[in-house]
Amino acid sequence: QRTGGVAAAAAPAPAAGGDGGKPLVGIIMGSDSDLATMKAAAQVLEEFGVPLELTVVSAHRTPERMFEYARTAHSRGLRAIIAGAGGAAHLPGMVAAMTPLPVIGVPVKPSGAHLDGLDALLSIVQMPKGVPVATVAIGNAANAGLLAVRILASADPALLDKMLAYQQGMTDTVLGKAAKLEQ
């Protein structure tokens, strides 16, 4: 259910996902060409059963839409925003400037990019004091999803248990591989 109303409208009409409840996390990206990277964040949230919305908001091409999205996000019930962009990636920082919610930035490496995503990384991570953006590694939208889950889990014991189980699963996987190597 991620179709319609994502690109042009001034008033955001994001598509919903996750467990079907009211979205708690907003995933936005500067272009639909970022979706190949950003869908990993949605997949993580869906795995944890966290309701999400996903849409395109461009800092440069739809600045009024960005303003509207950022200004209304908290009153619409969102608890965190994941924002991905490539190149001159101003979206996460500008959204962080206009919302009280935690913003997680994903530097996207567009296909054919000359600077391997380093431009986006530096654009997102070098925020001035007072306006934080939690920046993940270039292209690592899955970690953005996991960080959003952890933020929500800090006040949600059931979600915290899911995160503990996820972490234990990683540990078990690595220990299993180590045991095989040692045989």
For residue 43, give the nearest of 153, 132, 148, 116 by alpha carbon: 148
Q: Which is nearer to ligand RP5, 64 or 182 (CB)?
A: 64
For residue 48, give the nearest of 182, 166, 132 by alpha carbon: 166
Stretch that binds ligand RP5, among 27-35, 42-50, 74-82, 170-178 (CB under 6 A): 27-35
- What are the tokens at 95? 């959204």
Q: Which is nearer to ligand RP5, 17 or 92 (CB)?
A: 92
For residue 59, give the nearest of 22, 93, 26 by alpha carbon: 93
Binding flags for ligand RP5, 74-113, as an x/- string (CB under 6 A): -----------xxx--------------------x-x---
33 near ligand RP5, rule: CB under 6 A: yes
In the set 25, 31, 66, 142, which binds ligand RP5 (CB under 6 A)?
31
For residue 105, give the nearest of 49, 16, 21, 34 by alpha carbon: 34
Q: Give min distance, CB of 148 to ligand RP5, in A.
A: 19
Q: Give min distance, CB of 87 to ligand RP5, in A.
A: 5
In the set 12, 30, 105, 145, which binds ligand RP5 (CB under 6 A)?
30
Kindly provide the b/e burial profile for residues 87-120, where b requires at least 16 CB atoms within 10 angstroms of the residue's own CB: bebbbbbbbbebbebbbbbbbbbbeeeeeebebb
Which H helix or E strand runs over 85?
Answer: strand 80-86
135 near ligand RP5, rule: CB under 6 A: no
Q: What secondary structure letter does DSSP report for 34?
A: G
Residues 50 to 79 in contact with ligand RP5, rule: CB under 6 A? 58
Q: Which is nearer to ligand RP5, 98 or 113 (CB)?
A: 113
CB distance 29 to 57 below 8 Å: yes
Note the residues at the interface with ligand RP5 (CB under 6 A).
30-31, 33-34, 58, 85-87, 108, 110
